[in-house]
Chains A and B, each alone.
Chain A
């Protein structure tokens, strides 16, 4: 029974980008993971490399990878202390939306996708817009949207 529970351990996926609402999404995911005995995964998508010339492409990939790792390490430390477990880290290259859907297909262990909604009046951000709109049918797991203006206390209160 315990083994089975371990297998179906919930994984909360957070997409890492430069937006301020990443903080609320990550906090929510960590708190929920801790509360339900789950784990946090983080996806960082590097920009597609479009120049293949004089090893420039390889150098770009290398630098982006280094940047991605630095950013993930920085976030992972906080996430570990909040969720109690070391998060799973994914680094992909390409368009964020496509890579996210691909990862969800490849990793059926991911059970909840957590995204932070931007507070900008223009919309919650391209990813949420796509996944709640045209691409809603491509999701096979629940999507949790955390409003970007929630404070840490408010998040803690609901998790």
Chain B
């Protein structure tokens, strides 16, 4: 069952998302760590862009944290004063890192930053976990009891200024400590969309020296507030939180986690923990390979500005009358002027048909909304392929298809250039003063990317004649057809000259809940963020209450 994710703008199978959420929930329930830091990489593997995967990951983290903080709250296992300081640091750190995300995104460096951060994080977590399992295994071979590491009671941390009393934790330590720890976790949370419990818990125990009984509850408090802050800011500033994706994965996770907790309480198996460590390392390696492997194409594209005209749509549809207002040498129409992208949209086919007066060849061009498109080129920096150069073209049609009744090669280049027939004749405007060779390279990169994404066709389709005058052609619209206003243009070419031309508008529009969500996310971004947070909080709360009763 496929669902169209309104913000991620791609269709994914609901069952896959639910299963992924349940699987990660199960694992995190079993091991007590590892919700958020597996969700974001798995979403990236499913094809969600790293920016959206990380922002949505932060929203997803809220729910399970909410569900388990309730139990700790009931048992008074929360140090509010320490939690407040951690949270204060976390709010500053997350706000800064969401702003950083914006900068990195504009520079085209966000994807590589997210991937690299995950490779480092998962690498460290996986290795530590594996080392711990191996140590435990060896110790059992030596038949010696498990010896937890001794806590140090006095080290450099206790020399820091600004000491403060924490009665609940029975501590007298510098307030700078929780502030700094919170700040660091906040930065991680903003860029990677993790809660950070896996980092907070050991640091609070070994560095700050808190009693273990209050650590989990207090860290959850920080995780919830910081993850909510990241969700709100990402939704507000970047519109990268996909509520449909978040809620689906969240539900899977909330269902899976209690089972993980139950199983985990019954069998504390080192083998299982070893498997978890290997899984984490596998994800890290998979992401790492993506960073160091030479990319298939050094060039990639990023659409900076859609010229969306959704609001004006209704007016324009009224004008979309068939292009045969008066007697002409050329008439045609489309099987539909409005293509609706619904939740289950998986591409469609459109029929264009018409008639000519007299002999001639017919060329059909369908082009989508003009955009500003940035082309980026990767080069290897310290072994990693990152975007280093960029060039922005304006007037780039988001979608382009051409069909002709005779090979385009037979039409003179002058005519083709004038009417932009064929992708090589598209008038894409590079920035003024750009070097001609560079422009040619980036232009080729742009076209290649467009073709790979099925947004442009490498070759023309055929226009078939039914008898001497009637013609028709089919245009396939892929699932990722960009929404916006299109024009279909038909040219009649006789003796090498264009003797008649007609155009008609066509619209591709998101329809239904998905479109409403998209509009809401862009028009009322802060409210959308708050709505997402509320969903997560309520779902987590509900799951916590249900699980307690069960």
Contact = CB atoms under 8 A, between A and B. Distances in A.
Mutual binders A and B? yes
Interface of A: 47-60, 62-64, 67, 94
A50 B32 contact: yes
A120 to B, nearest CB: 14
B265 A48 contact: yes
B119 to A, nearest CB: 20
Nearest to A67: B213
Interface size range on B against A: 20 to 34
Contact of B129 (A53, A60, A63): A53
Given A58-B146, A63-B213, A53 B265 contact: no
A4 to B, nearest CB: 39
B32 A52 contact: yes
B489 to A, nearest CB: 62
Contacts of B202: 53-54, 56
29 contacts: A47-B213, A48-B265, A49-B32, A50-B32, A50-B68, A50-B216, A50-B261, A51-B32, A51-B201, A52-B31, A52-B33, A52-B264, A52-B273, A53-B32, A53-B201, A54-B132, A54-B206, A55-B149, A56-B201, A56-B212, A56-B215, A57-B32, A59-B148, A59-B149, A59-B205, A59-B212, A60-B212, A62-B148, A63-B213
B265 A94 contact: yes
Given A47-B75, A59-B148, A63-B213, A53 B198 contact: yes
Interface in B406-431: none
B227 to A, nearest CB: 18
B279 to A, nearest CB: 14
Given A50-B265, A56-B201, A67-B213, 12 more contacts: A50-B68, A51-B32, A51-B33, A52-B31, A52-B268, A53-B198, A53-B201, A54-B206, A56-B205, A56-B212, A59-B212, A64-B212
A53 B75 CA distance: 22
A54 B146 contact: no
Interface string B181-224: 00000000000000000100110011000011101100000000
Contacts of B129: 53
B351 interface: no
Contacts of A60: 212-213
A63 B201 contact: no
Contacts of B264: 50, 52
Contacts of B151: 59
Contact of A55 (B75, B148, B216): B148
B46 interface: no
Which of B29, B148, B273: most chain A Cβ within 10 A?
Answer: B148
A7 to B, nearest CB: 34
Contacts of B75: 47
Interface string B300-311: 000000000000
B128 interface: yes
Interface in B147-196: 148-149, 151
A55 B201 contact: no
